[in-house]
Structure formats: structure tokens, C-alpha cells
Structure 1
Amino acid sequence: MPNLNEYLGSIISSITNARVMADIQTVKVAEEYAKHDLLKHFAVPHMRVGDVELTIPVALDALTEKTETQYQPIDNTKFNSLMYKELTNSLGRTSLPSKASKALRAVLVEQTHNLEQALRMQQDMAPVTEYSQQAVRQLVQLADEYQLVSRESLPKLNIEQITSRLVAAATQEIKVLSQRKVIENLNVIAESHKLREEKPENIIYIKLKISEDGMEWQQMESSDGQISRRLLPE
């Protein structure tokens, strides 16, 4: 069964393709008009799609939902301090040399910013694992660069264990602001012969109005003489 968004998208795409075919035919007609002594003075017929109104019957087949979560803003100062402490402790140290410390703190500031954006976009806790993995990879690089542990000890660092502890510490600091259930996937029955088998009360009618908004290439010249082409609304 098709997804509702795919089904409606295919209808809109078909109408767009119809306009493309009409434009190609217009070009062919224009070429014929240009060759004719009399027709070359006539306007070339050109079809535009106005408002297309459709009433589409469908029946719901399967519905799945997902939970979207919004998180409270991260207290960056506290969060980065805790992550710094967790990473430093994983090296068996309580502090780092000045340059290494600044480098690690800079990495955490950048990655925490990326984490906040990812949480906002994905609305689940999956980005915390990626954040932790990246932070640990950076830690290992800094440990090697600044010789924070001996060469012999570096390969022995338990990366998975450090990452797991960082995930746990980060997860504890990220608080949920709100949650709501939304439709993730909606499958519909659209075939005529199957719709006839459905009870009338199971069928819904989608009213869809499509209006054309054409785009065209326009050539522009800047003050320094450079010419550029942009695709702009007609």
C-alpha cells in the first residue's frame, strides 16, 4: 500500500510532468510557426495550468506513530564541565596541562553546540551517542598529541567503556521539555477496485487544490560587468 505522502506527491508530480510535455509541444509548434510565412506573425499557443482541484478518495490502511521530544536548553557551562571531568578521569588524571586543557574545552564547546542542534532536529537521544563517540575520538588524539598518557598505555584505553560512561553522564544532564505523538507513516488504499470493497464510513475524501507557480531563468549583469543567471519566479 502506498504512503499518503508518496501518493499525493505522485499526483502533483504527474501534473508537473503534464506541464513539461505541454511546454515541449509549444517549442515544437513555435519552430513550425517560425518556418511559415504567415504563421510566424501569430502568437504561439502556450498552455498554462491554472487551479487544479481534485477530490481524492482513499481508505486508511495502516498507521504508525512516533514520539517527538523537545529538550530543555543545555546548560553549556555545567554540561561541558562535567564532560571535561569525565574525559579527564578516563585518562587517570584529575587535570590536564594548559594547552591540552584549552584544546579539549574548545572541542567540547563546538560539539555541545552540534549536539543541541542535532537534538532539536532529530527529537530523540540518538545524537548523544554520536557526540560521545566524537568526544572520545578527540580525547585520544589529544592524549597522543600532548602525551597525556604513555605510548604504551594509549592503545590500552577502553574506548567503548569511556564512551558508555560519557553517554550515561550526558544523558543524565539532558532534560525533556515536552513530548507528543505524531504520525510517522500513513498507508492508504487508493486502488478503485479495493475502495469498492470498503465500507463507505471507512473512506475519506481529500480535497486538493494545486496552483501553478512557474520559474524562469533570468540573466543579470552586475556593476562590474559580470553576467549571472538565476532561476526566479515568473
Structure 2
Amino acid sequence: MHSSNQIFEPITQHSFQDEALLRLALTHSSCDRATGDNQRLEFLGDAVLDLVIAETLYQKFPQADEGTLDRSRASIVNGKSLARVARSNDLGKYLEVSEAHRQHQAEPSKAMLEDALEALIGAVYLDAGLDAARQAIRQLFGDQIEAIELTASSQNPKGKLQEWSQKHHAGEVPRYQELPAEGPDHDRHYNAAVFLGDKELGRGTGSSKKTAEANAAQAALKHLESFNS
């Protein structure tokens, strides 16, 4: 039973002490209100979500390396995943948009749903701290976290690819090439390609050069699996 000064929010399963935070999280920028919209909360919620998912995977897979954890996090914290979670929880029916925007677009877009979900997470964090946000995130994304299973090849794709190349190409080992990085200095995305001889086997992107190479190896392994299946 929730006390009278709390507002229970069904998507995050959180009881808000500060109802204004909840209203703000569900206010789209088209409303143009003096009290603001959910964009700042979305910025905060995005960071909190990244932290909690990274922490959860770090604890769940103590033997996994950086690249494996990065790929696993990306499989959960991406636009498609966020929109799916938002839609499965009927977030769209709670989101406040202007009448003009609703006439132009009757249903909330994928981007609007992603932003609102992250804004809700940001609001929970401000309302009750990291433990409450952690609980909400693990409730929302628990099924996806549980579904992640790491095989030997996914944990060490560079090693797996090298084993394959040495076995099938007379001891030859893969060669990794750094590609131009993208994004601002505070949010750099590194790119790499992997070659066997002069033939490119795959490309990868990551938050570090090491992760980009691991993702390139993983892409190469997937290509080889599909080729040989």
C-alpha cells in the first residue's frame, strides 16, 4: 500500500515522492510549457541506464572481457530495444504531446518513446537515487539481461578467429587495421577492419580500439558461420 503523498508509476514500478518529476518525464517538447519538457531528464536517464546495465553485466559475467561486455550492453541499450520496452509497457498512452503534434502524428514515434523511457529513468533517479533507478531498470530490462548467454567465441572472438585462420590457412593470422574514428572527443567511436591476407573479413565499432577490433572479429566469425552453414 502506497502512502497518500506518493504517486505510483506503473511502467517503472516506482512510487514518486515528487510528482512534478513524473509529469516532466512524460511531457514532450511539443507542449512548449514554461515548466519544461523531458529532454534534460532523457539526457540524465540515458547515463543512468548505461551505468546500471554495465554494472549488471559486469557482475553477471565476471570472466567476460571489455569487448564482450560492450557488445552485450549495446544489445540492450539501443533505440530498437528501448522502443520495444516502451511499447510493451504502453508508454505512449501516458506521454503528453501538443494537440497540433497529435494531429500531425497520431502515435508517438520510436524516438519519442525512447526519450520518454530514458526520461522516466532519470526522474526515478532524481526522486529516489541510484538504488531505485537500478531496481526500475532491472525490472524493465530483466528479460533481455537474462537472455544473454556468452559462448567461448563471443567472449574471445579475436582468439577464436585466429584459431580458425591458423587451422584453415596454414598458420596465417588475422591482421587488424584501424579505420577513422567518429564522434566528438567525449563520445568517440573507434572503427576497425580485420583482414586475412588482402581479404577483408569484417568490420567493427566500439568505445575503444580494442573493442572495435573484437567486434570486427565477431563480425568475421558470423560471416564465416553463415558461409559454412
Q: Highest Rg: 1 or 2?
A: 1
More strand by share: 1
Say whether the fold is shared (TM-score over 0.5).
no
Shorter chain as denominator, the TM-score bin is under 0.3
More helix by share: 2
Q: Which has the higher contact order (CA 8 A, sep 6+)?
A: 1
